[in-house]
Structure 1
Amino acid sequence: MSDVRFTHIGGPTVLIEFDGWRLLTDPTFDPPGRTYRFGWGISSRKLTGPALPMAELGPVDAVLLTHDHHGDNLDSAGRLLLSTATTTVTTSSGARRLGGTACGLKSGQSMRLQAPGRPPIEITATPCRHGPLLSRPITGEVIGFALTWPGQEHGPLWITGDTVYHRALRRAAAQIRPGTVLLHLGGVGFPLTGPLRYTMTALQAVRLCEAITPHTILPVHYEGWQHFRQGRDGIERDLLRAPKPIRSRFRWLPIGSAEHLQL
């Protein structure tokens, strides 16, 4: 069993530490107030800053970047951080854009992180659909990550990435059988596209988790931005309608302070 420390910095940004490894998901460290354009006339304003300043973050071994082309997953300060990380794992198209030490994966592909004195980490890219059917030409390539290392009891650790609920996601989850899920929620929407959603709502997440019954579900990517349509209050209201065995598996990470979990 591994003792893993999660620090939720804000939005999708989480520092994951175990057995000498320091991994960071989707780095967003800009201050609040700026509006970011996502293309096709769509934009959003950042409402809150990071709970942990980048200057206090410390060294990062690898960045797990679900996609590089939206400011709520990689902002200007986050881009600066990439140059200090040993490795950035991201989409194949994102790796071409970023260059440097970026390593690109397509859904289903795997790579291994290795370092002396630490357990090897197998990283497998999982499918994401960042919006409704046929939206990929607009929303771009996105992946999630399944992480496996020796000694896991409640593993693999799955970082879903920005995605709605869809068939390929459900199939991948059933194959992975994750024990712990870092779940991107928020029900992202924009005035220009009306009721369409670009990330999972709590009800969609419940459908997904009912099929795989993970040990622990950790919601992220639901606060700090104008385009999140479902914050923690809305998620908790929907969870009241979920079966108790699933509802009891949800655990909120405190923003800005570390939480230890046994994986």
Structure 2
Amino acid sequence: MLDLGEMKLVEYDPDVFRRLNDFFIARDELERRVQDVARLGNVITEYGLESSVGIHLIHKHFELADDELILREFEGDMATMRPKRARDCRGHLPYLWKLDRGASGKGWYPLEFLLPLPEHHIDARAEIETIRAAGDFLDALADRLEELDLAHLFGIVSLHSRRPFALDSETTLLETTDEVARVLILRRTPRTELERIDSTKTLWVFTSERERRLAAGAQCVSHCISHCHGHVLQRPDVGADSIQ
């Protein structure tokens, strides 16, 4: 185990976002390293954070200016993610972080933000505070990412960011991307639609060992369409502790 010191959630740094790999680079490397997702999931379940934290494939689809950030907003039955000027954002919360070295030193830097619906704002903030307070977990996962040389490829995501979307065994979240307009659109869609789409897994959630004895185990809950128009979030099974 490496000793990186105390790794905290820190403030947004546009240079950290700027250094992200483009989607196609991250996608190609994921094909070689996807088996390591289970090793990262083991850290989440060890600290009992499987209901709050998932593993996310880190990447970008377009560039941002220094005064911009990506904001997820909910509009009817969909959500949009688009650049917003930071000074124009109010009530936004981080939901996706990357381990990196930036303006605040080494730590967990937010990459994307969301504006929760009013009825979800308190719970979304509480989940972030749960993650922020889990210092031992943040340190342990940082160590694991560094040991595996995967800090550039995987980060952590607050699972509350999927609210108000409710997924079941038949549904997924499909994200389409307009790179010219710099907007991503997220919609709930039947899983059967994935059969016609070339997609890449981008978000995984996990269940505790006890729950895996009773149910399906860890699940992949996100995909990125492998051409230039999108992502998908879905729920096939993956064993969180299948690799030690």
TM range (shorter): under 0.3
User: More relative contact order in 1 or in 2 (CA 8 Å, sep 6+)?
Assistant: 2
Identify, as 1 or 2, the structure richer in helix. 2
